Amino acid sequence: MAIMQVLHFPDKRLRNKAVEISEFNSDLKTLSDNMLETMYLEKGIGLAATQVNVQKRVVVIDLSEDKDSPMLLVNPKVLAADGTETMQEGCLSVPEFYADVERAEQIRYEYFDLNGTRHEDETDGLLAVCIQHEIDHLDGKLFIDYLSPLKRQRLKKKIEKMEKLAS
Ligand code: K1U
Ligand code: ZN
C-alpha cells in the first residue's frame, strides 16, 4: 500500500469533476487500499479520490472509533434527500478550519462495491453528512463554498497568514 499526497485549498485540481468508474478491476482495489491508508494516516473520517488528484468517482469512509469498519463507495449518488441539519465540518484539504454547514438530514443513496455490485441504502447523522461532503469533492466542490462571503474572506486571510509563516 502507498500513502498519497492530499491536495490543499486553493489547489485548482480540487475543482476537477471526477468521472464514473466503468471497470471494476485490480487498479480500483489498489486505489481504494491506498486511499484508506492515506485517510487513516491523515486522521480523517472520509476521503474522495479528487483529494488525492485521481479524477475517478471513488470515496472511502470509516466512522468507527477503532478504524476497523472501512466503507468503499464507487460512483456514489444521492437518490433522495429529506430535511436539513447543520453540522460542524472539517476537511483534509482545508486543514485547521472548521465551519457549520447545512445539508440534507436524511439521504437515500446508491453506490457500487469493488465487484461492481450495486447497493442502495438510507442513512442520517454524521454518515449522511460525510457522504454529501465526499460527493461534493467528486463534483469539485468544497465545504467552504457554502460559507458567507465574509467568512470566506476571513478564511482566505488565515490561509495567506499561514502560508507566509511557512515560507
Ligand atoms: O473529505 C474530507 O476532507 C474528510 C473529512 C470528512 C468530514 C468530516 C466532518 C464532516 C464532514 C466530512 C474529514 O475527515 S475532516 C477530519 C476531521 O476533522 C474530523 C474527524 C472526525 C470527526 C469529525 C471531523
Ligand atoms: Zn473534504
Give, for ligand 1, the residue of 45, 130, 146 to mutate: max count of ligand atoms closer than 8 Å to Cβ.
45
Between the CA of 66 and the centroid of ligand 2 the distance, in Å, is: 21
Q: Does any ligand 1 atom lie closer than 6 A to the CB of residue 60?
A: no
What spacing in Å lies between the alpha carbon of 143 and ligand 2's midpoint? 7
* Whether residue 134 has its Cβ less than 6 Å from ligand 1: yes
Give the pLDDT confidence score for residue 111 in this predicted structure.
Answer: 99
Specify whether the CB–CB gap between 143 and 91 falls below 8 A.
yes
Q: Is 76 in the pocket of ligand 1 (CB under 6 A)?
A: no
pLDDT given at position 97: 92
Please give the pLDDT value at position 157: 87
Average pLDDT score over residue span 97-101: 94
Give me the percent of the chain exceeding a pLDDT of 70: 100
**Closest-lying ligand 1 atom to the alpha carbon of residue 98:** 18
List, for residues 35-65, the tens digit of each pLDDT value. 999 999 999 999 999 999 999 999 999 999 9
Q: Which residues are catalytic?
A: 134
HEC states along the chain? CCCCCCCCCCCHHHHCCCECCCCCCHHHHHHHHHHHHHHHHCCCCEEEHHHHCCCECEEEECCCCCCCCCEEEEEEEEEEEEEEEEEEECCCCCCCCCEEEEEEEEEEEEEECCCCCEEEEEEEHHHHHHHHHHHHHHCCCCHHHHCCHHHHHHHHHHHHHHHHHHC
In ligand 1, which atom is closest to the CA atom of 134? 1
Q: Check pocket membership of 91 for ligand 1, CB cut-off 6 A.
A: yes
